[in-house]
């Protein structure tokens, strides 16, 4: 004869094998929510850091290009008496003075760090391209973590051209 109680016990035990307690679901849900929150906070912080650096680089590139598109101080400066770098021929002019461009390139090649400070580009690196031939500064590295370029119209050598100021960095802001 079959014992009814033993079959009920075995049915009850076998039917509980795939179940879990509601506490397990609550703990798993909380862990998932905490992990999502941590991921969201990290992602937001990372985006904020990157955007802050890019905004600062953008402002720096505009300031450097504005500074270069002045006559400088004194107006007809040379490598020995320059107080402020500017490479245009006159106030409110977009025509670049070839002598000032040559002096600017020479001074940058001689002491990049000093020129970076004079232009207000520090802590970033700078690279300036005038037209198709004149370049000043250090070209952006392939592994650069940030790069911003501003292109402005100029007249160089009697021809319409562009000056492109590139500000770049090889580090991340903390």
Q: What is the pLDDT of residues 107-149, one digit of tens each?
A: 999 999 999 999 999 899 999 999 878 999 999 988 887 899 9
Using DSSP's 3-state secondary structure scheme, residue 168 falls into strand
Answer whether residue 62 is part of any domain.
yes
Question: What does pTM read for this prediction?
Answer: 0.70
Rounded to whole angstroms, the Cα distance separating 99 from 23 reads 79
Tell me if 135 is assigned to some domain. yes
The parent domain of residue 124 ranges over: 22-169
Reply yes or no on whether the pLDDT at 13 is more than 60.
no
Residue 11 lies in a domain: no
Residues whose CB falls within 8 Å of the CB of residue 11, separated by 6 or more in sequence, listed in order? none
Give residue-wise pLDDT tens across range 35-83: 999 998 888 887 777 677 788 899 999 999 999 999 999 998 988 999 9
Domain membership flag for residue 58: yes
Q: Which residue has tokens 């990049």?
A: 112
On whether residue 45 sits in a domain, the answer given is: yes
Choose among 94, 97, 73, 96: nearest CA to 85.
73
Q: 116: part of which helix (H) or strand (E)? A: helix 112-119
Handedness of CA 46, 52, 58, 63 (dihedral sign): negative
Tell me, what's the pLDDT at 138?
93
Q: What whole-number distance in Å separates Cα of residue 53 and Cα of residue 165? A: 17
* DSSP designation for 95: B
Say if residues 131 and 161 touch (Cβ distance below 8 Å): yes
Q: Is residue 4 in a domain?
A: no
pLDDT at 159: 93
């Amino acid at each position: 004869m079959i014992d009814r109680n033993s079959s009920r016990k075995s049915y009850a035990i076998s039917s509980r094998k795939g179940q879990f307690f509601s506490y397990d679901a609550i703990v798993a849900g909380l862990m998932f929510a905490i992990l999502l929150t941590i991921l969201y906070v990290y992602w937001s912080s990372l985006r904020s850091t990157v955007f802050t650096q890019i905004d600062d680089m953008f402002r720096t590139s505009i300031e450097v290009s504005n500074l270069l598109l002045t006559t400088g101080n004194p107006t007809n400066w040379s490598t020995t008496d320059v107080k402020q770098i500017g490479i245009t021929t006159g106030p409110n002019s977009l025509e670049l003075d070839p002598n000032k461009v040559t002096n600017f390139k020479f001074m940058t090649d001689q002491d990049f760090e000093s020129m970076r400070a004079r232009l207000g580009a520090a802590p970033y690196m700078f690279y300036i391209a005038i037209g198709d031939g004149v370049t000043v500064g250090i070209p952006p590295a392939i592994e650069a973590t940030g790069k911003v370029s501003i292109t402005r119209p100029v007249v160089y050598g009697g021809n319409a051209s562009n000056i492109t100021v590139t500000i770049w960095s090889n580090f991340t802001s903390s």
